[in-house]
Amino acid sequence: MTSDPASYLVAHRGDQESACENTLAAFEAAAKAGARYIECDIQFTRDMVPVVCHDNRIDSEKISELVLTDLPGYIPTFEALLAWLSKAPHITLFLEIKPPILKRRSAGAAAKFLHAMIPGSLQQQIIPISMSARLVEACSLSFHTPVGWVMEGGRTPNVTLGWLFFPWQQLQQIRNWPDRKVRTAAYTVNDALQAAALHANGVDLIETNHFSRLIAELSYSAASTNKKP
């Protein structure tokens, strides 16, 4: 496995070491710190605007019951994220589509809706993932990149997966994953030594909340090791 931490660290919801999660500031901070991979979350407002937010609630209200103008200004729209991504061609974005949309739209409709918003120039930079098997299956038909499944989601999607996202504590459970061509990503790891150990044990990518700190620690460790006689 490679010793370059930028090749295996994923900025989970951006760099939370530097800015609030799932904000453009967090994504920009991750990119400046050397991120090649960023993960974010998509929810839909009542007026069907996809926004970048992990939870479906803001205080006591559901995002799915609010219109865009009801949301705090720090929550970016998917459109704003795409505009930012167009200036960061080296970034691969893992786009986690949250299941609440399935209460209002079919998986196919949701996948097509998001894909239609993505300019052709960005389509190879975005990899859709979800806990929902239905959403993963729908994305495999609409998107032109490998799809990923967040394995806490219950039923395994009935499609060829490019990525398997799993809680790092469940490393042993993925050892017998039937399709060894599936690449793996562990979440959420905020300790540099643990991240390096998981990667050394064959995990392709490691998601962390504190990208800038971990990449600095791991880069320093790698440099120190290389200097030894």
Report the chain's terminal Cα–Cα distance, integer Å: 21
Q: What is the pLDDT, as a whole number, of residue 154?
A: 82
CATH number of 5-227: 3.20.20.190
Domain chopping of the chain, boundaries:
5-227
How far is the CA of 226 from the CAs of 4, 9, 49, 217, 220, in angstroms?
Answer: 12, 20, 49, 14, 10
- Per-residue model confidence as pLDDT tens digits over 62-113: 999 999 999 999 999 999 999 999 999 999 999 999 999 999 999 999 999 9
Question: How do the pLDDT tens digits run along the chain, 229 residues long?
Answer: 567 999 999 999 999 999 999 999 999 999 999 999 999 999 999 999 999 999 999 989 999 999 999 999 999 999 999 999 999 999 999 999 999 999 999 999 999 999 999 999 999 999 999 999 999 999 999 999 999 999 986 899 999 999 999 999 999 888 877 666 899 999 999 999 999 999 999 999 999 999 999 999 999 876 555 555 5
